[in-house]
Amino acid sequence: MNRQQKKQDEKVSRNTRSTKLKLLKAATKEFADKGLNGARVDGIASRAGVNKQLLYYYFGDKEKLFVAVLEAAYVKLRKKEKELHLEDMNPWQAIETLVGFTFDYIAHNRQFVALLNDENIHHAQHIKRSKTIKGLHSKLLELLSEVLKRGAKEGLFRKNVDPIEFYISLASLCYFFFSNNHTLSAIFARNLTGAAQKEARRKHIFEFITAYLKI
């Protein structure tokens, strides 16, 4: 049995790609769960079911693994963004798609939210150092900019909307509900974790953004 066949069988005990992937997935969970400082190297290794030393063999150290986790998370996001094709839609369609995508992506990728939260505590020092992440410049802002202009020209949208301010507002409205869900639930003494609350939030955000854009 040669190597190629073994790969297909996925029964290999020795395989760089699968070991790295197992570590990356385990690390994503551990870092999202406990933050960079709270995460344990032994915890990551045992979650991945591999020897701890392989973490050092493949990633160097804990912090470099954290950077690799962030990079993988951004690669995933940018890939999804590319599939939106806002440029082919009419302005209202494009905004609706963008808002829905942003909300749903955050809702389904809570680990990403947790990682970003932690990265902000560390003043984004890892993202700032990562050429990979900087290289993945999102085209979303350019696309949004074009959509806002088109909408304004067609008399559908408010004029002179700053795309960065608008995008930050959109991200805020979607992100905060999830990132701060636990403290919000505690302070309001109300359960905000349910599906109904999530759907209500989604609807409210659409209303909020629509009200701002429409003339």
Partner DNA sequence: TTTATTTCTAACTGTTTAGTTGATAAAATA
Partner DNA sequence: TATTTTATCAACTAAACAGTTAGAAATAAA
Q: Can you give the binding site for DNA, defined by CB under 7 A? A: 2-3, 6, 12-16, 19, 39-42, 50-54, 56-57, 61-63
Place of tokens 């869900």: 181
Q: What is the 3-state secondary structure (H, E, C) of 53-87?
A: HHHHHHHCCHHHHHHHHHHHHHHHHHHHHHCCCHH
Write each residue from 17 to 46 as x if it is in contact with its own copies (CB under 8 A), else as -, in one continuous string.
Answer: -----------------xxxxx--------
Q: Which two tokens stand for residue 209?
A: 């953004």
| DSSP class of 49 | T
Q: Which two tokens stand for residue 178?
A: 């999830």
Residue 64 within binding range of its own copies, rule CB under 8 A: no
Q: How far is the CB of 117 from its own copies (least distance, A)?
A: 5
Question: Which residues, including other chains, have CB under 8 Å from residue 94's CB and lie 6 or more apart?
Answer: 86, 143, 147
Of 10 and 207, nearer to its own copies (C-beta) is 207
Residue 134 within binding range of its own copies, rule CB under 8 A: yes
Of 62 and 150, nearer to DNA (C-beta) is 62
Q: Three-state DSSP class for 214? A: strand
Stretch that binds its own copies, among 9-17, 87-95, 100-108, 123-131 (CB under 8 A): 123-131
Q: How far is CA 83 from CA 73, 78, 79, 121, in A?
A: 16, 9, 7, 31
Q: How far is the CB of 162 from DNA (least distance, A)?
A: 42
Stretch that binds its own copies, among 4-12, 95-103, 116-124, 147-155 (CB under 8 A): 116-124
Bridge partners (DSSP) of residue 214 are: 157
- Contacts with its own copies by CB under 8 A lie at 34-38, 114, 116-121, 123-124, 127-128, 133-134, 137-138, 141, 158, 162, 164-165, 168-169, 171-173, 175-177, 179-190, 200-201, 204-205, 207-208, 211-212
